[in-house]
Structure 1
Amino acid sequence: MSSTRIPTSTSVTESAVIAAPFASVWHLIKLESFASFWSALDKSEFVKDVASDANVDVVKWTFKDGTVLEVKQEAHSSIDHYITYSVISAAPQLTYSSVVSTVRCFPITTGSNEGQTFVQWSGNFSSDADAGVIEDAKFKRREALADLAKAVAK
């Protein structure tokens, strides 16, 4: 192992207050719907050969830069308002072994942001993810949250 590797946290969490009602935001937090708000995505679609298994949701995200990720829904709660997914394949291949991400939504019920939505998007990467991967994930999440805010403001 190279001694030039910079030690880094292998997790990232970004969040935003979205100036829209909770129902408008939560409605878009489905793996197959991410392309409807995230400007980096060209399309998001169910993987057909997996869709026949009612217990497994795998969605292919095709990014505008040509990157293709297959993401598997690991957990979902319409009661606690979160979705957790992992990347199960990537082209080009990722430089790290794995990542599990969670998007959580919370209705803001009081205070100056009452009636709006708090959204948190975290990612936990395998220990072989370097600082560049974590920084990239941070900025992608910030961009996607800003895109989500624009999408529900329309």
Structure 2
Amino acid sequence: MSRIPTSTSVLESAVIEAPFTDVWHLIKLQDFAKFNTALEKSEWVKGVSPDTDIVKWTFKDGTVLEVKQEEHSTIDHYITYSVISSTPALSYTSVVSTVRAYPVTSGDHKGQTFVTWSGNFSSDADAGVIEDAKFKRRDALADLAKAAASKK
């Protein structure tokens, strides 16, 4: 059986009807369980190198991911992370994701927040992985919008 060629990246976005600061303050790896309803808990992994930030995400379906913060910018308002371990194992080698927030400064959505959530997968990720990632990001962005709106 031959593999179906597919893109190995995904990008989802949303305009969140909440002020930028309310949204940006939720976008911390260790706090994703505060808005992402798929997560049971998110917590720092203890005992790793002091210059390495690793967070364990425990999902309600029993999946456990350890994610490493690769970059974090409070100036450009983004966080980039990679999955370094998964139980059960992933069907692909790697993924690097970035969540980025932008304040909307003019137009109909002035005072709201535009958020993008990308994922760049290794070439062994199949179409099912990419499609699943798309819907998980959409669901998480909707959860982020609900959590930010509740801060009003």
TM-score higher than 0.5 here?
yes
Question: TM tier, shorter chain?
Answer: over 0.9
What is the alpha-carbon distance in structure 1 between the residues aligned to residue 131 and residue 123 of structure 2?
15
Alignment partner, residue 107 of structure 1? 103
- What's the offset of the Cα at 1:43? 0.2
Residues 76-105 of structure 1: CA distance to partner in whole angstroms, max 9, x if unpaired? 100000000000000000000000000000
TM-score, length-normalised on structure 1? Answer: 0.96
Alignment partner, residue 38 of structure 2? 40
- In the TM superposition, what is the alpha-carbon distance from 1:55 to its structure 2 partner? 1.4
Q: CA deviation at 1:54?
A: 3.0
Letter in structure 2 aligned against 1:107: P
Identity %: 76
Structure 1 segment 1-154 matched on structure 2, within 5 A:
2-3=1-2, 5-50=3-48, 53-154=49-150
Q: Which consecutive residues of structure 2, in runs of 5 or more, have no partner in the other structure?
A: none
Determine helix, strand or coil for the equivalent of 2:7: coil
Alignment RMSD (CA, Å) = 0.6
Deviations 1:53-93 (A, max 9, x none): 33110000000000000000000100000000000000000
TM-score by length of 2: 0.97
Q: Secondary structure at the match of 1:25?
A: helix
Q: What is the deviation of 1:49?
A: 1.5
Once superposed, which parts of structure 1, at least 4 consecutive aligned residues long, lie more than 6 Å away? none
Cα distance between partner residues in 1 of 2:117 and 2:47: 28
Q: Deviations over 1:122-144 (max 9, x none)?
A: 00000000000000000000000
CA distance in structure 1 between the aligned counterparts of 2:53 and 2:33, rounded to whole angstroms: 16
Amino acid at match of 2:102: F
Take 2:146 and 2:110, find their aligned partners in 1: how far apart are those partners? 19
Aligned residues: 150
